[in-house]
Every structure is written in C-alpha cells, then in structure tokens.
Amino acid sequence: MKKLAFILTTFIIAITLTGCGGYEELNDLSIVTAVAFDKTDDEYELSFLIANSPKAQTSAKEGEAKTTVYTGKGKTIAEASKDIEQIVPKQVYLGHINVVVISEDIAKDGFLKIADWLLRNPQTRKKFYLLQAKDEKAKNILKIVSPLESFPSQSIATLIESNSETKSIATSITYSNFISQILEKGYDPVLPSITINGNVKEGSNEKNLETTEPESYLVLGPLAIYKGDKLEGFSTTKESWAINVLKGDSKEINYNVKYQNEKISIETSSLKSNIKIIDEKNIEITISGVGDIYNINNKIDIQDYKEINKIEKTWMKSLKNDLSKVIKKVQNKYKADIFGFGNLIYKNNPKTWKKLEKDWNSKYFPKLNVKIKTNLKIEATGSLINTIKEDK
C-alpha cells in the first residue's frame, strides 16, 4: 500500500507541476505548423507558417486567418532559421510541424542537403507529410487559406489524406518514409506534388475565407519522380494512379473501359499488387481486385454472365496495357526504379545485387522484362436490370 500511495502521490505532483505551467509556456512560443524550403540564387529561403502569430492574439473576426508566414535567408538552412528567429517576436517551436513543402530548385539540387537540418532538430517528430511544390514557390503554398480549415497546414494535410484514400493520384509520404526509400538499395522514391489553382495574392487574402467560391485554392498534382534524392521530373495524372497501383499504394480507382465503342465506368476496389522476382532480368507483377459497374451508356445486358465475362476481359487487357506503358516510360525516360525491383533482387539475392548495383539504374533497370498479369472480377452491376437508355 505504501508503494501504491507513493506512485499516486508522484503522479499527482507531476500533473500539478506540468499542468498550468505548460499553458503559460505556450503563450511564449511561436508554434510552427508547416515549413517550406526554397532557393534564391545562391541562398536558401526557409519559411515558417506560424500558428499563433501576433495577429492571432488580437480579437480575430470569424473567418480571419490565424497564421503568418515568416521567411528567412542564408547560405545554409541553419542561417536562414536564425534569420527568422530574429524577426519572430516569440521563441520558435518546431514540435508541431505536420507539413513540409520543398521547391523544385531544392529537389533538383538534392533533398539530403536540407534533410540533415530536419533530422538533427530535436523538436521535430519526423512524422510530418512531405510534398513537392510544382510550378510554384514552396512558401506560396503555405500562404493559401481555405474556408474549411483554420490553418493552411491542416488544409494541406487533410487534402493529402483524403486524396490518397479515394483518388489514388497522390500518396501520403512522411519524412521518415521518404528518407528510408532514399537510403534503401535499389529503390527510388516518389513524392506527391502540390500547386496553386489561381493567384497567390488572392489566395492568401482573408477574403478568400469568406467567399462561397474561393478565388484560389491548393490542388494535388501528379507524382514527383526522384532518382536518389534528386528530382527527375513529374508523371502525368493518369501515370500517377498507375504508379500507385503498381506499387501497391492504391486500394481503389475509378477506371473507364471502352467496350463496344462505348465507355463503361468501373469502380475498382481491394486492389493488390504482388511483385515476383523471376531472375535479375525478369519481373512478374500480378494486379488483383474487384469492381462495380456504376455507369453504362449503351445497351448491354449486365445481367448476362457471358456479357460480364467479356467486360472483365476487356477491363483486364486495358488496365494491363496502361500499366505496361507507365513502366516502360519510367524505365526509358527517368531510369528511376520507383517500383523497388532492385530492392527485391537485393533482398532475395544479395550476391547478384552486388554485381548489378553500380549500373542498376543506367543499364539493368531499363532493360528489365516486366510481365503484368491482371486478375479482376466484377462483383456488382448496379441496382437496375436495364440501363436508363434501354428504359426510354
């Protein structure tokens, strides 16, 4: 009992000492919720999205932005950070970062040049989302306010989470995920990209919060393809979901099949990608899943098993062709093994990988024979026996 009493007393004292005191300390901090990395000439530009800026401490009106973006410059990221600290009126705190955006200039120069600053900072949790700015400065991404979220950083996080689950164009990549892929043998990483639809000035204006149709808003773009820690280019939107399907990062897609000169829309779910190493020259990928037909524009008896079987075969052939084209493009144009074929060879046969590693991206990866198999089944055909067109 004495031991239990001692534990309870210690617990109560700990709560007493850390409770109110913690709240008082928060008032003395400038909490950073997002960070952007840019380059201007030969200097780094570092931007912090501050959640509790001085503006937010005033009597803010409903819908008013509660954040401010501060930017610093320097020959190193550390210098740029110090530059910001000289103009921010409170102590900068990086423990609540949930989004980091990097510019194309930073990415082409090499991500690892800035990664060290994030890694060594004891405050950062390393679990924040990482995004690639496309056709826009990274710091401008942090300025766009949304009527749906209080902070731009939360708007970006929500956007990436919802899109990665439903549209399959983007995937949620954290800092830790990205670094581990860079360091893995035979594996090149990808990042979701983000850009601005509209004007930066209008999007950062508080009036953008008050309109029913925002003048500017953030849009997730195609995947950014890396070779090592450097940006090689961007895929298209169609290629992005195909890459995610091949990598096993996409569980569902909406796919259009051309059948009898008409378009059939199939909602594909439970997607799985199984990559099998035959040998160092041959790879086999099996894509499996189920689908529901939810849009037909022609007279097709979707209750006829034979008809459904024909649609399935057309669907599988079409998807197989789309995926094969993407693999060929990645092999020939980017020469970046974003599918991790080399990594599987390394894990299965380290001795073989040792012979291939040096010239893997330039010589062996582009010549890989990748065979794709599709195993897809239509489970539901809708609630109507006949299409609307047939009922007319």
Separation CA 366–CA 48 (nearest Å): 40
pLDDT at residue number 172: 86
Separation CA 166–CA 164 (nearest Å): 6
Residue 373: which of 281, 260, 302, 289 has the closest Cα? 289
- Range with the poorest average pLDDT among 161-165, 202-206, 272-276, 281-285: 202-206
Mean per-residue pLDDT, 228-255: 92
Query: If DSSP codes are grouped into helix, strand and coil, which group holds residue 242?
Result: helix
Whether pLDDT at 344 is above 90? yes
Sign of CA dihedral 117, 120, 124, 125: positive
Q: Does domain 247-391 have CATH number 3.30.300.210?
A: yes
Bridge partners (DSSP) of residue 36 are: 47, 101
pLDDT at residue number 384: 47
Q: With contact defined as beta carbons under 8 Å apart, do 347 and 280 qualify?
A: no
Whether pLDDT at 147 is above 70? no
Predicted confidence band of residue 201 (pLDDT cuts 50, 70, 90): low
Q: With contact defined as beta carbons under 8 Å apart, do 297 and 379 qualify?
A: no
Q: With contact defined as beta carbons under 8 Å apart, do 169 and 163 qualify?
A: yes
Residue 179, amino acid: I
Tokens of 132: 């690639």
Whether pLDDT at 6 is above 50? no
Whether pLDDT at 137 is above 80? yes
Mean per-residue pLDDT, 270-290: 95
Residue 191: which of 127, 126, 235 has the closest Cα? 235
pLDDT (tens digit per residue) in 32-81 = 989 999 998 889 999 999 976 444 333 344 444 467 899 999 999 999 99
Greatest extent of the chain over all pairs of C-alpha atoms, in Å: 83
Q: At what angle do helices 175-183 and 112-120 cross, to 10 degrees?
A: 130
Tokens of 312: 């399935």
- Range with the poorest average pLDDT among 126-140, 356-370, 377-391: 377-391
Residue 315: which of 379, 364, 280, 266 has the closest Cα? 266
pLDDT (tens digit per residue) in 235-245 = 999 999 999 99
Mean per-residue pLDDT, 110-137: 88
Each domain of the chain, given as residue ranges in start order, spans: 21-234, 247-391
Separation CA 330–CA 240 (nearest Å): 11
Average pLDDT, the chain: 83
Bridge partners (DSSP) of residue 71 are: 47
